[in-house]
Structure 1
Amino acid sequence: MRRTAEGVVLDVSVVPGSKRTEVVGLHDGALRLRLAAPPVDGKANEALVAWLATELRCARRGVCLLRGAASRRKQLAISVPLESVTRWLQGTTSAG
């Protein structure tokens, strides 16, 4: 995760087709997530963007997939302050 002028860039490792959408922890320098959406026709990417926007309480247009549309490893730009993402991560990783 790194700060940018517009917000934050977050590296994510996803496991699509899971039972539910949730944070698993860290994996190889990226946030590991399980996604309930299937990896078909971009549904997992859409679900990831929508879920992150909801979790971080920002507009859906504030979450943009930068890299990894067809990969499990993704990079997203999120238009929220770094401190907000850090607090959210601390809450999700300590809850699990």
Structure 2
Amino acid sequence: MSPAKAFADHLRLAVRLTPNASRDGIDGLDTTVDGECWLKARVTAVPEDGKANKALIQLMAKALRLPKSSIAFISGETARKKILRIEGDPEDLMKKLDQLLAR
């Protein structure tokens, strides 16, 4: 299972975010009992006024070596589970995501 789905011009990435963490980071994958797969991420920012969401975009942009403007929310801006839209070549983005998770 993969938390990412490729489309013609972008990738959709399912993320489970933990705010108020001791450090920023990506903690691998999490699979629920019903088979959903999520990328686990944590940020030190608090979940108010969109601070944790901005920190998540900054974390993902840095990890995938992309501009922050290429990442946007599709859903979940006020929830722990979020869907991100990442603009770019889906094949290239999948390779970057695989390399990130292989660490």
TM bracket, shorter-chain basis: 0.7 to 0.9
- Structure 2 unaligned regions, length at least 5: 32-36
Amino acid at match of 2:25: E
- The question of 1:91 aligning with 2:99 is answered yes
2:59 counterpart residue number: 51
The CA deviation at 1:56 is 1.6
- Structure 1 unaligned regions, length at least 5: none
1:24 counterpart residue number: 27
Q: How many pairs are equivalent?
A: 95
Equivalent pair of 1:58/1:80 in contact (CA under 8 Å) = no
The CA deviation at 1:85 is 3.0
Q: Please, which of 73, 76, 85 is the counterpart of residue 65 of structure 1?
A: 73
List 4+ stretches of structure 1 deviating above 6 A.
none
2:16 counterpart residue number: 13
Question: Residues 36-61 of structure 1: CA distance to partner in whole angstroms, max 9, x if unpaired?
Answer: 21111110001111221222222211
- For 1:66 and 1:21, how far apart are their aligned partners in 2? 22
Q: CA RMSD in A?
A: 1.5
The CA deviation at 1:84 is 3.1
2:34 counterpart residue number: none
TM-score for both structures, normalised by structure 2: 0.81
TM-score for both structures, normalised by structure 1: 0.86
Question: Residues 7-51 of structure 1: CA distance to partner in whole angstroms, max 9, x if unpaired?
Answer: 100000011111111111111201011112111111000111122
Equivalent pair of 2:29/2:38 in contact (CA under 8 Å) = yes
